Amino acid sequence: MIRTIVVGVDRVAPNGDTANKIGTYQLAITARYHGCQFIVAAPTTSVDLYTKSGADIVIEERYEAEILVQTGFERQGVLEGRLKRVEVQVAPVGTRAWNPSFDVTPAELISAMDGQYLANKQINVQYAFKKDAKGERHGSAAERLLAAQAQKNDRTL
């Protein structure tokens, strides 16, 4: 049985929202549905103090052809030992697609955020923001990550 899902992150907004590769948000929803912990491994370098929330993160969009067209080899050529690449439209002509590279996970779906330590395979959330017994958050993700980095370097913010 899965009890914890751990993901990486590309950007962390000061309110705790995160942006990561497409599919991360659905993992957070899945974790919530199944009562699992959802932990984000976030190096302090991923904190973006200039972006207020996930709504402000600009999401890179990839070409829609990556979804609408598939590339492969012509079957007859494969059987005859000569490979001929072909592109096949897999959606009806005129179909449009939205192909984002990243999605945003709201802070409410994140159980904990780890600063630097998961790279050593140690899930250390000592300095990460967490919910208390009442489900209330204490400090933003960015504040906690920066405080952890400061403590690691024996500095005070």
Give catalytic residues, as residue numbers.
Answer: 10
| 124 contact partners, CB below 8 Å, separation of at least 6 | 114, 115, 117, 118
Distance CA 100, CA 66 (A): 11
- Residues sharing a CB contact under 8 Å with residue 30, sequence separation 6 or more, in sequence order: 5, 36
Between the alpha carbon of residue 10 and those of residues 5, 44, 53, 56, 58, the distances in Å are: 17, 11, 14, 14, 12
